[in-house]
Amino acid sequence: MAVKHLKKSKLPQLNDLHHQCGLSRRDFLEGCLGCAVSAIGLSALAPAIASAAESSIPQKDYGKARVRLIFTHEPPDRATWPNIGYDYEGRKKQLLSKLTSSCAQIELVPATVQNTEEAKKILETDKDVDGYVVYMLGIWTGAPQVIASCGKPVIFVDDLYGGSGEFLVAYSEAKKNGLKVAAVSSSDFNDVVKAVNIFECLKKLRSSVILNVGGGWGNSPESIENVFGTKVKFIPFEELDALYKKADRKEAKKWASRWIKSARKVVEPSKQVIEDSAAMYLAMKQLMEQNSAEAITVNCLGGFYGGKILAYPCLGFCQFNDELKVGACESDLTSTLTMLIMTYLTGRPGFISDPVIDTSKNQIIYAHCVAPTKVFGPEGRSSPYHIRSHSEDRKGAALRSLLPLGEIVTNLEFNCEKRQVLLHMAKTEANIDEDKACRTKLAAQPIGDINKLMNYWNEWGWHRVTVFGDHKRSVENLAAMLGFGVVEEA
Tell me, yes or no, whether 358 and 248 share the same domain. Answer: yes
262, 50 Cβ separation under 8 angstroms: yes
Residue 425: inside a domain, yes or no? yes
Number of domains in the chain: 2
Residue 27: inside a domain, yes or no? no
Q: Report the half-sphere exposure of 213 (CA within 13 A, side-chain side).
A: 33
Confidence of residue 60 (pLDDT cuts 50, 70, 90): confident
pLDDT one-digit tens code per residue, 185-238: 999 999 999 999 999 999 999 999 999 999 988 999 999 999 999 999 999 999
Tell me, yes or no, whether 196 and 211 share the same domain. Answer: no
Alpha-helical segments (H) within 110-220: 116-125, 143-148, 164-176, 189-196, 198-206
pTM of the model: 0.90
Tell me, yes or no, whether 254 and 148 share the same domain. Answer: no
Buried b (16+ CB within 10 A) or exposed e, 364-394: bbbbbbbbbbbbbbbebbbbbbbbbbbbeee
Residue 8: inside a domain, yes or no? no
Tell me, yes or no, whether 72 and 45 share the same domain. Answer: no
Confidence of residue 20 (pLDDT cuts 50, 70, 90): very low
324, 344 Cβ separation under 8 angstroms: no
**Contacts for 222 with CB less than 8 Å, ≥ 6 apart:** none
Residue 359: inside a domain, yes or no? yes
Residue 343: inside a domain, yes or no? yes
Alpha-helical segments (H) within 269-419: 271-290, 300-305, 314-322, 333-346
Structural domain of 388: 34-59+207-488
385, 399 Cβ separation under 8 angstroms: yes
Q: Report the half-sphere exposure of 346 (CA within 13 A, side-chain side).
A: 25
SS3 468: strand
**Nearest Cα to Cα of residue 401 among 41, 57, 47, 51:** 47
Confidence of residue 174 (pLDDT cuts 50, 70, 90): very high
Residue 16: inside a domain, yes or no? no
Domain end residue (candidates: 202, 221, 236): 202
Has residue 346 got a pLDDT over 70?
yes
Tell me, yes or no, whether 264 and 382 share the same domain. Answer: yes
Tell me, yes or no, whether 277 and 389 share the same domain. Answer: yes
Domain CATH number, residue 269: 3.20.14
Tell me, yes or no, whether 286 and 265 share the same domain. Answer: yes
Average pLDDT, the chain: 90
Q: What percent of the chain has pLDDT over 70?
A: 89
Residue 5: inside a domain, yes or no? no
Confidence of residue 32 (pLDDT cuts 50, 70, 90): very low
Tell me, yes or no, whether 444 and 411 share the same domain. Answer: yes
Tell me, yes or no, whether 197 and 243 share the same domain. Answer: no
Domain CATH number, residue 84: 3.40.50.10940
Task: Report the range of poorest mean pLDDT among 52-61, 62-71, 90-99, 270-279.
Answer: 52-61
Q: Amino acid letter at 310? A: L
Tell me, yes or no, whether 179 and 287 share the same domain. Answer: no
Domain end residue (candidates: 181, 202, 223): 202
110, 92 Cβ separation under 8 angstroms: yes
73 or 303, which is more confident: 73
Tell me, yes or no, whether 221 and 321 share the same domain. Answer: yes
Tell me, yes or no, whether 326 and 259 share the same domain. Answer: yes
Buried b (16+ CB within 10 A) or exposed e, 117-137: ebbeebbeebeebbbbbbbbb
* pLDDT at 69 (0 to 100): 98
141, 166 Cβ separation under 8 angstroms: yes
339, 372 Cβ separation under 8 angstroms: no
Residue 1: inside a domain, yes or no? no
Domain end residue (candidates: 202, 220, 246): 202
Determine how β-strand 295-298 pairs with β-strand 326-328: parallel
pLDDT one-digit tens code per residue, 238-267: 999 999 999 999 999 999 999 999 999 999
